[in-house]
Amino acid sequence: MRSGIFRCWYMQDSQAVKYRVKFSKKGALRYISHLDVMRYFQKVIRRAEIPVKYSEGFSPHQLLSFAYPLSLGYTSDGEYLDMVMTERVNEEEALRRLNECSESGIKILAVKELDEKARNCMACVFAASYNITIREKITLPDDFCKKVIDFFGQETIPVNKPKKKNGGSVLIDLKQYLYDFRMIDDRTFYICVNSGSETNIRPDFVAGSVCEYCNVVPNENPFYIHRVEIYENISDNENVELRALI
Amino acid sequence: MNDNLALSDDILMSVEKPARYIGNEVNAVYKDPDKVDIRFVMCFPDVYEIGMSHLGIQILYDMFNKFEDTWCERVYSPWPDLDAIMRKEKLPLFALESQQPIKDFDFLGITLQYEMCYTNILQILDLAGIPLYSSERTWDDPIVFGGGPCSYNPEPVAEFFDIFYIGEGETRYREFLDLYKKLKGTGISRNDFLIEASKIPGMYVPSLYEIKYNDDFTIRSIEPMHPSVPRKITKEVVKDLNDTFFPTAPVVPYLKSYSDRINLEIQRGCIRGCRFCQAGQVYRPVRERSIDFLLDTAVSSLKNTGFDEITLSSLSSSDYSKLDELIEGLIKYCDENNINISLPSLRIDAFSLDIMSKIQDVKKSSLTFAPEAGSQRLRDIINKNLTVQNILNGCEQAFIGGWNKVKLYFMLGLPFENDEDINGIANLANDIAALYYETVPKEKRMGRAQITVSTSFFVPKPFTPFQWASQDRKEDFIDKAYRTRKAISGVLNQKSIKYNWHETDTSVLEGVFARGDRRLSKVILNAYKKGCIFDAWSEYYKNDLWLEAFEECGISMDHYTTRERPDDEIFPWDMLDCGVSKEFLLREWHKAKEGVPSPNCKEKCNGCGAASFGVGICRTHKQ
Ligand code: SF4
């Protein structure tokens, strides 16, 4: 029962093609949880009548995978998901259809066919970059900018990173997981940090460490965080060479 | 898209599930406030995820927004976490779409789906800054409408509402809005406007009726206070369900709602006439929607929402005359598009089992029966036309087909119930389990039979033959639940049977409100002031505060619950007419006492009175 218009942009030759979709999440929709975003996309894809592949069985589900959950309240210009389609599609057309069926708070930025052997986006995630803003309600010292620059400029940046489970913390050198930093304005700085499954440096943790260093007390809901991009590491040696997922 | 949210980021980040308050859902309707004449806000006085699952509001939302001069928005009860913040920071309650205060709207429509939401109504009014009592409102406040099943006896909350719309909402709102546009701003008083409104069929304006009581607090008289106000308000009925409003693009929530799927109402009303069931009386007569209408609506609403499931809703799906044809059509579309179909309220027989095996995973799904009472004697009394043989036959076929889970629903506290009925519940569950072990050879069994018995406590409802009946006390309820549990633990196959029962305190309060009168408004207000809200949520229900509230107001709960009413008692809801006559209900009450069942509308017309609407099944009988 798929519409005829859509048929014409299928190319008939191949089966099960992988695509990567990049999207942004902004405005009011930043209050939607990761789980809700996943359910949201299932519906967008249905409305757009994209030929996504389904699992077998009584309650078939779409073969989708999301790169890296975004915390509720963050905005982003660099979210990713992979989907398997039953046939090859025109990327431009798919992009247009998806946007037509999405609320403007979640905008599809790119659709790209993947190589058959490409790792899925979740496995690719190596680093992510963020703009972190300290909210106006928090009073900052006059030399805040300078101090932030000092903090990130240290030879080593010793910080106590909370452990995932059973509380406690472990002392790490943040510097080793920091790939980029710059000041954006008086209250906002940009960082690019490791987001691999083992280390995973959370941006709010970095912001908290900055505040501690600058003697700023972060009370409730102190930061506004915007994810800029997600990267994979394409270096084939010990070095790190970052490339955006699309 | 409206990114101008009423709540600050700090607030949204501090409450549970902020997505409840941001609107902006797919298919939500946005209009330019300068280009409409009427601002309406529809309210379901419970949390967002529950309210968003409700079909009635979806239908009215769609209808109002089809009117070019009207913008209809939605509001739900702020959860207690946000409630506390809004009170502390004095934030006015706002509508989801425009995020503007609902105090500035023309209308606030509140649906009354269950009695336990009454304090939430006060929460809504209070947070909105609308005076709680209708008598204290001015033209600066919205007109507050009530509707939905509890408006068939709205008396306990009558003083908080300006108008109740009695019956199906699709028919008279247009006429009403036109009257409003004509009169508002002409200098007419709000009260005179309400008098005019009361002349529109289906509109019940409670402040225009005087209720007089006898010394024992039964009702002596109900009198309209103005000559042009009707003595009786007859419910509104949609004549043709294929030619009316029904959403093909319902709003799609971001949060997982309780019904995360398309809800397709295949028919309205029920032919069965179970004597405890209010829906079965007040939605008469049965009217079916056509196959074409349903298939078209199903396909377009699935396409427009992207839901992956559709459920057919009705009081008794098996009674839909062309069910096989409908399901065949649906299965075809849904299979091609990876959509699940769910079919609640199906009678279990060869036909339904065949369908179920096509659309569900037999290993995971369960069979549901609602015998409601444990013996044939009591089932005849309540007019529940389901025999042990029906159930066992259905189960046998199902067990052969691979099912091993059975759910059984019963009520405790039905009129004329005795020990045998309670034992009957345990015995039936036991017989079903035994049948499983007889029918399915050991090597083919998927583990034990899993029989789940659930009981709820019977609450007599207005406009049912049991409206005269006495309701059990709390102690009786508890005692009966214990006896049921004991009986179940005494049967041979008890290991295969699980027993659940519902709470008792809320059943008592529900019973008070179900058949309550206007004197109860002060109790509800009192309880609300003490801090009762979200009474339907056991974690928020505060029974002691309710008891205090009754005590302080000098009102006895027993007056409403345990008292059997004499045949000629005037009921608080006697100004309303749901089409089914009081004489018919009384006849049924007497037949119940004699243990005599009645035929259903398809077998034979019982002359209930609903034929006066001239629609649906009653017309078939005439021809
Ligand atoms: S009038 Fe007869 S057919 Fe119509 S609803 Fe009543 S009992 Fe049923």
Q: Indicate the SS3 state at residue A228.
A: strand
pTM across the whole model: 0.94
- Thinking of the domain A2-116, which architecture would CATH place it in? 2-Layer Sandwich (3.30)
d(CA B84, CA A188): 33
Tell me, in angstroms, the distance from the centre of ligand 1 to residue B612's CA. 9
d(CA B436, CA B448): 9
Top pLDDT among A51 and B620 is at A51
Q: Which residues contact B282 (CB under 8 A, 6 or more apart)?
A: B149, B152, B235, B463, B578, B579, B580
Q: Indicate the SS3 state at residue B274.
A: coil
Residue whose C-alpha is closest to residue A138's, from A205, A193, A74, A207:
A207
Range(s) of chain A covered by CATH 3.30.70.580? 2-116
Under 8 Å between Cβ of A177 and A169: no
Q: Which residues contact A126 (CB under 8 A, 6 or more apart)?
A: A194, A195, A196, A231, A232, A233, A240, A242
Q: Best interface-test mutation with B: which of A34, A46, A61, A75 has the largest number of B CBs within 10 A?
A: A46
Contacts of B254 in chain A (CB under 8 A): 29, 32, 36, 39-40
**Within this chain, do residues B68 and B205 fall inside the same structural domain, yes or no?**
yes
Query: Nearest CA of chain B to the CA of A62: how many Å?
Result: 9
Tell me, in angstroms, the distance from the centre of ligand 1 to residue B279's CA. 14
Is residue A2 very low, low, confident or very high in pLDDT (cuts 50, 70, 90)? very low
Q: Is B39 among the domain residues?
A: yes
Closest residue by Cα to atom 5, ligand 1, is B285
Is residue B623 very low, low, confident or very high in pLDDT (cuts 50, 70, 90)? low
Domain count, chain B: 2
Q: Is B318 among the domain residues?
A: no
DSSP letters, B203-229, are: EE-GGGEEEEE-TTS-EEEEEESSTTS
Residue whose C-alpha is closest to residue B40's, from B113, B133, B142:
B142
Q: Indicate the SS3 state at residue B137.
A: coil
B305 vs A1, A43, A58: nearest CB: A43
pLDDT value at residue A7: 35
**Within this chain, do residues B370 and B230 fall inside the same structural domain, yes or no?**
no
d(CA B70, CA B41): 10
Residue B186 phi, psi (nearest 5)? -90, 0
Contacts of B24 in chain A (CB under 8 A): 27-29, 103, 105
pLDDT value at residue B218: 97
Any bridge partners for residue B310, and if so which? B262, B341
**CATH no. for residue B496?**
3.30.750.200
Q: Is B116 among the domain residues?
A: yes
Interface A:B, Cβ pairs < 8 A:
90
**Within this chain, do residues B191 and B47 fall inside the same structural domain, yes or no?**
yes
Q: Which residues contact A98 (CB under 8 A, 6 or more apart)?
A: A21, A44, A45, A48, A50, A108, A111
For B363, which residue in chain A has the nearest alpha carbon? A58
Closest residue by Cα to atom 1, ligand 1, is B611
Residue B397 has pLDDT above 80, yes or no: yes
For A62, which residue in chain B has the nearest alpha carbon? B338
Report which secondary-structure segment, H or E, holds B498.
strand B497-501
Taking only the tens place, the pLDDT of each residue in B89-120 is: 999 999 999 999 999 999 999 999 999 999 99
Judge: A40–B254 Cβ closer than 8 Å, yes or no: yes
Q: Which residues contact B117 (CB under 8 A, 6 or more apart)?
A: B45, B46, B535, B536
Q: Is B548 among the domain residues?
A: no
Cα–Cα distances in angstroms (integers) from residue B384 to residues A166, B9, B35, B277, B409, in the given order: 56, 54, 53, 10, 12
Q: Is B186 among the domain residues?
A: yes
Question: What sections of B136-189 are H helices per DSSP?
Answer: 173-183
CATH fold of A125-244: Alpha-Beta Plaits (3.30.70)
Taking only the tens place, the pLDDT of each residue in A234-246 is: 998 889 999 999 9
Average pLDDT, chain B: 95
Query: Nearest CA of chain B to the CA of A136: how many Å?
Result: 12
From B445, B471, B501, give the residue that closes a domain.
B501
CB proximity under 8 Å: A 148-207 to B: none
Top pLDDT among B445 and B93 is at B93
Tell me the residue range of the domain where B44 lies.
9-234
pLDDT value at residue A13: 38
> Ligand 1 pocket, B284 CB below 6 A?
yes
> Ligand 1 pocket, B606 CB below 6 A?
yes
Taking only the tens place, the pLDDT of each residue in B333-384 is: 999 999 999 888 788 888 888 888 888 777 778 889 999 999 999 999 999 9
For B301, which residue in chain A has the nearest alpha carbon? A47
Taking only the tens place, the pLDDT of each residue in B29-82 is: 999 999 999 999 999 999 999 999 999 999 999 999 999 999 999 999 999 999
